[in-house]
Chain A
Amino acid sequence: MSDASFKFEKSGRSLMERLFEPPAIGKMSLVAKIVAYSLLAIWSVFVLFPIYWVIITSFKDAAAVNQGPFYIPFFDFQPNLDAWRAQFNIDRFCDLTSILRQVYLLVHNSFVFVVSPVISLNPMELQICKIYLAFTNSVVISVVSTTLCVAVGSMAAYALARVQYKPKFGNILVFVALLVLVIVATTYAGVPWWASSTVALAMFFFLVRSVGRYFKMRLSNNDILFWIISQRILPPIVVVIPVYVMFQAVGLLDTHLALIILYAVANLPIVVWLMHDFFANVPIELEESAQLDGATRFGIFWEIVLPLTRPGLAATTLLILVLNWNEYLFAVFIATVKVQTMPIMVAAKNAGEKGVFWWEMSAIIVVMIIPVIIMSILLTKFISKGVLQGAMKG
């Protein structure tokens, strides 16, 4: 491939030709280069300008925001750290005790996250540095739920890619009908939820044995996949009240566990969808030879398939992490006091009739962006490779 840059050797090219025709294969002509770079530059400005504006707004004070547009720090206006100080130390002194308090709070939070469904600890001091609380909450919730979601989702996707499932249509009908009955009994007749669902579960196993054999119609993997995808279409505002009622009944409102489960389930369709494409691309011969050598199915998944799809896994993980990190609607309903997350802090800066504290809000937005951007830069190589494989499946 030494002559990949094969030259068009034409003597006496006119000016127009020299401008518009590429000098070599794999190169661009002068005009095309100019157009391409200027378009890219314009778009970079369009993309970066709002980010720049948010960053400089976080260094303004009320006067600098309200007296008109100022663009360049130190030139137009004097930047100060008021907004950042207001966020990060309430008493304006970054002394040892307050830092220790934050560390204690962090440990306490992680501890509460594990035991919160079982024991209720005394409420935390919410006045100190809400943003640390929200930040730790956000980190704990998004990391744990992403791990859970990707683990469960990729296993489900692998199963759907490799095993042929043939669930009976009748069984599913029975399941849905029983669920409807449970809901009717609980909401209209006032039966406690645990009693009705236990009865329904027992009836389900009984009915599956008896009714199931009368239905011949079976579903395939594609039906299951489509059903999983269709879960994403319903707008979240519709399901937020049922979810609220559900967690109220179980007694998990305002706990970390509730948000972790909720996010994991809500993002499961995306993981299954993307990972199914990646797994289907893995050559099946590899797995068959491993099977001949006596590897178990889980062993194949863990030792062979996962390393092969690591780029896709990284891309999916990053996508889910970003979605969890930015989720607002569910958080605002489920997490009222103790487990407030970062997006709630952003929204809280809109103080109604007092107006919006733009500078403080910008500071929080910047705090929210930084970890994700670092993650994305670390994983960019993985992402471009990962999407490459999955996307071509179409």
Chain B
Amino acid sequence: MTLILIFAIFPTIYSMFFAMSRVRFTGDGLKFRFVGFRNFSKQFFGTDQVHFLGRTEPVSILAMIIFAVIVVSVLVWLYRSRKIATWVGMLGRTVSASMAIFLAWVLCASLLSGNSIGTLYTTLFYVLVGCGIQFVIGTGLAFICSQPIHGKNFFRVIFFIPLMVTPLGVGYAMKMIADITKGPFEPLLRLFGIENWVWSADAWSARLVMVVGDSWQWIPFIFICMLAALENVPQDHVEAAQVDGASSMQIFREITWPQVVPVAVTVLLIRAVEAFKIVDLPNIMTGGGPGTATESMTLHSLFVWRANDMGTSAAIGYLLLILTVIVCASFFNYVVLGRLRRTKA
């Protein structure tokens, strides 16, 4: 047991040392030189700023106004919650609020001012948009499959297949499919007269292709969990409602949905944690390009790592860890628990 503990805990602490030092390979192994938090601050203030935060230099007036609105609303939320929260809860809320303000500032300064976004928001884009699409489609398919239809088991096996393919294989398969000159969609593009359109040359279309590839692999996961949850909803409740003449929309909203919410939240959380670590797909399909448009934080960390700068790589990993923990914990505490509290009250 101690051995496992060491195996689990040692790399985490050891990589903290990497994050705080400049590491070099020498003849007799690794050489460390302690540099404190310089690896971290380099991400925010150094020349690498373009990578992590995006370009934030000219801030437009509109973005300033939006930023101010967001800050005020977050502060109001913080101020109003001082009565219901304990001391520890207040500390957590302050952390979440400062994270929200920081994210809002980056959003306003980069995207809303018309500048390019950095790896931070690319990662968030993959997580938010990807998880949203995957959750909606996965739940929808699971809902259809939970209805009385024929061939349920057949569809279940078919839909489960993408999860079995190695992520590397998914990356290469998607690259084959999305190839615009030799891929299967080439005649289709010619039909619409856009054969000169290159998805990998435009930042947003490239990001969208990443999300599609990611969804192809991960919708089955949400599908299988949500199907299990939906099939566990007692059928007699649904039938009773049907006899009473409720429409199927009402039945779904009032009876089915409340019973599957806990599972949905767990599944969404697991998926989000994994989605923050997306690396294979952008690495294989675009290599992070055009420019750094599709580069997620993990991929950036990998590139820095390849350039033998392990300290910075570990620092990016830790930034990602902090981001993931705060976002997921905030989501869980305020959205999920808040919802539960409201339904109880």
Known: A239-B15, A388-B231. A54 touches B239 (CB 8 A): no
Known: A26-B148, A183-B17, A268-B8. A241 touches B160 (CB 8 A): no
Question: B262 is contacted by which of A325, A361, A377, A394 (Cβ under 8 Å)?
Answer: A394
Main secondary structure of the interface of A (DSSP, over half): helix
Which of the 9-residue segments B72-80, B93-101, B111-119, B315-323 touches chain A? B315-323
Asked if B160 and A376 make an inter-chain contact with CB atoms under 8 angstroms apart, the answer reads yes
Asked if B176 and A53 make an inter-chain contact with CB atoms under 8 angstroms apart, the answer reads yes
* Minimal beta-carbon separation of A218 from chain B (angstroms): 17
Residues of chain B with a CB closer than 8 A to A243's CB: 11
The closest CB in chain A to the CB of B239 belongs to: A25
B187 at the interface (CB under 8 A from A): yes
Asked if B231 and A47 make an inter-chain contact with CB atoms under 8 angstroms apart, the answer reads no
Residues of chain B with a CB closer than 8 A to A122's CB: none
Which of the 9-residue segments B81-89, B177-185, B203-211 touches chain A? B177-185
Asked if A246 and B324 make an inter-chain contact with CB atoms under 8 angstroms apart, the answer reads no
Asked if B176 and A176 make an inter-chain contact with CB atoms under 8 angstroms apart, the answer reads no
Per-residue interface assignment for chain A, residues 25 to 46, with 1 indicating a CB less than 8 Å from any chain B CB and 0 otherwise:
1111000110011011001101
Main secondary structure of the interface of B (DSSP, over half): helix
Known: A187-B30, A384-B227. A36 touches B313 (CB 8 A): no
Asked if A53 and B10 make an inter-chain contact with CB atoms under 8 angstroms apart, the answer reads no
In the bound complex, what is the Cα–Cα distance between A325 and B172 (angstroms)?
Answer: 17
A105 at the interface (CB under 8 A from B): no
Residues of chain B with a CB closer than 8 A to A26's CB: 148, 239
Asked if B156 and A372 make an inter-chain contact with CB atoms under 8 angstroms apart, the answer reads no
In the bound complex, what is the Cα–Cα distance between A362 and B177 (angstroms)?
Answer: 12
B155 at the interface (CB under 8 A from A): yes
The closest CB in chain B to the CB of A386 belongs to: B228
State the total of A-B contacts with C-beta under 8 angstroms: 234
Asked if A238 and B301 make an inter-chain contact with CB atoms under 8 angstroms apart, the answer reads yes
B60 at the interface (CB under 8 A from A): no
Known: A25-B243, A40-B155, A69-B183. A236 touches B277 (CB 8 A): yes
Residues of chain A with a CB closer than 8 A to B184's CB: 49, 53, 69, 71
Residues of chain B with a CB closer than 8 A to A387's CB: 224-225, 228
Question: B279 is contacted by which of A71, A237, A265 (Cβ under 8 Å)?
Answer: A237
Which of the 9-residue segments A208-216, A225-233, A284-292, A301-309 touches chain B? A225-233
* Minimal beta-carbon separation of B301 from chain A (angstroms): 5
Asked if B157 and A237 make an inter-chain contact with CB atoms under 8 angstroms apart, the answer reads no
Per-residue interface assignment for chain B, residues 306 to 337, with 1 indicating a CB less than 8 Å from any chain A CB and 0 otherwise:
00001001100110110011001000000000
Which of the 9-residue segments B45-53, B63-71, B162-170 touches chain A? B162-170
Residues of chain A with a CB closer than 8 A to B6's CB: 179
In the bound complex, what is the Cα–Cα distance between A358 and B182 (angstroms)?
Answer: 12
Per-residue interface assignment for chain B, residues 230 to 272, with 1 indicating a CB less than 8 Å from any chain A CB and 0 otherwise:
0110000001001100001000000000000011011100000
Asked if B228 and A391 make an inter-chain contact with CB atoms under 8 angstroms apart, the answer reads yes
Known: A71-B184, A180-B13. A368 touches B169 (CB 8 A): yes
Asked if B9 and A238 make an inter-chain contact with CB atoms under 8 angstroms apart, the answer reads no
Number of interface residues of A (CB under 8 A): 83
Asked if A234 and B4 make an inter-chain contact with CB atoms under 8 angstroms apart, the answer reads no
Chain A, 167-218, CB within 8 A of any chain B CB: 176, 179-180, 183, 187-188
In the bound complex, what is the Cα–Cα distance between A54 and B141 (angstroms)?
Answer: 25
In the bound complex, what is the Cα–Cα distance between A147 and B100 (angstroms)?
Answer: 43
The closest CB in chain A to the CB of B145 belongs to: A40
The closest CB in chain A to the CB of B28 belongs to: A190
* Minimal beta-carbon separation of A270 from chain B (angstroms): 9
A98 at the interface (CB under 8 A from B): no
Asked if A261 and B318 make an inter-chain contact with CB atoms under 8 angstroms apart, the answer reads no
Asked if B166 and A326 make an inter-chain contact with CB atoms under 8 angstroms apart, the answer reads yes
Asked if A176 and B317 make an inter-chain contact with CB atoms under 8 angstroms apart, the answer reads no
Asked if A343 and B166 make an inter-chain contact with CB atoms under 8 angstroms apart, the answer reads yes
Asked if B156 and A37 make an inter-chain contact with CB atoms under 8 angstroms apart, the answer reads no
Known: A235-B298, A235-B301, A239-B11. A54 touches B161 (CB 8 A): no
Asked if A242 and B144 make an inter-chain contact with CB atoms under 8 angstroms apart, the answer reads no
In the bound complex, what is the Cα–Cα distance between A125 and B24 (angstroms)?
Answer: 35
* Minimal beta-carbon separation of A313 from chain B (angstroms): 16
Question: B242 is contacted by which of A25, A187, A261, A342 (Cβ under 8 Å)?
Answer: A25
Residues of chain B with a CB closer than 8 A to A57's CB: 176
Known: A28-B149, A54-B173. A388 touches B228 (CB 8 A): yes
Chain B, 262-305, CB within 8 A of any chain A CB: 262-263, 265-267, 273, 276-277, 279-280, 297-298, 301-302, 305
State the A residues within 8 Å of B (CB).
4, 6, 22, 25-28, 32-33, 36-37, 39-40, 43-44, 46-51, 53-54, 57, 65-69, 71, 152, 176, 179-180, 183, 187-188, 230-239, 241-243, 245-246, 261, 265, 268, 322, 325-326, 328, 342-343, 346-347, 350, 356, 358, 361-362, 365, 368-369, 372-373, 376-377, 380, 383-384, 387-388, 391-392, 394
A-B contact pairs, 16 of them (CB 8 A): A25-B242, A40-B145, A51-B162, A65-B182, A187-B30, A233-B276, A242-B18, A246-B11, A328-B167, A346-B169, A347-B168, A368-B169, A380-B157, A384-B156, A391-B267, A392-B262
